[in-house]
Amino acid sequence: MNCPACNDPMLVLEYEEVEVDYCVSCHGLWLDAGELELLFGNREISDGFMTAGCPSHAQDETTRRCPECRRKMLKETTGGTPPVVYDHCPVNDGIWFDEGELALVLKNGSPAQGGDQVVNWLHDMFRGQEEDTPPSP
């Protein structure tokens, strides 16, 4: 599968029963439908948090195509502070997160036991790229 942001091939990583497609080039993450709910541990909480944000935050973001069906994805905004703008397949194939967004979503929105464990796993998995990136001015 190719990345919806930069079109490079993605790697498949696995955490328990969740497969995460990861782009080595832009550090984005793709989750197939239903996998975010597994990370949250609760579908109602996941759905509520993921759609609780203000749609106006998404106006300036680039539209991307779903790596599965190739349709234009929808922009949605989470609740929480700061809100996260993410891409959602219109036929529910999955969700795209730009670099760091999934960890932020899980940190701010997941009350499920083990939510911090997933955030720590994501941080540990991708720590090398964060340390190689120079700080912003």
Is there a domain that residue 3 lies in? no
Q: Read off the pTM.
A: 0.80
Beta bridge partners of 74: 88
pLDDT tens digits for range 22-61: 999 999 999 999 888 887 777 887 888 888 887 666 667 7
Is there a domain that residue 136 lies in? no
Is there a domain that residue 133 lies in? no
Total count of domains within the chain: 1
Span of 50-64, 72-86, 91-105 with lowest mean pLDDT: 50-64
Residue 52 CA: distances (Å) to CA of 9, 93, 109: 32, 20, 10
Is there a domain that residue 135 lies in? no
Pairing of strands 11-15, 18-22: antiparallel
In 81-120, which positions are buried (b, 16+ CB within 10 angstroms) versus exposed (e)?
eebbbbbbbeeebbbbbbbbbbbbbbbbbbebeebeebbe
> Tokens at residue 26, please?
């832009």
Whether the pLDDT of residue 13 is over 70: the answer is yes
Is there a domain that residue 89 lies in? yes
Is there a domain that residue 4 lies in? no
Is there a domain that residue 29 lies in? yes
CB 40, CB 106: distance < 8 Å:
yes
Is there a domain that residue 74 lies in? yes
Helices (H) and strands (E) in the chain, counts: 4, 6
Q: How confident is the model at residue 66 (pLDDT cuts 50, 70, 90)?
A: very high
CB 67, CB 30: distance < 8 Å:
yes
CA neighbor of 30 nearest in space, from 58, 4, 62: 4
Residue-number span of the structural domain to which 121 is assigned: 11-127
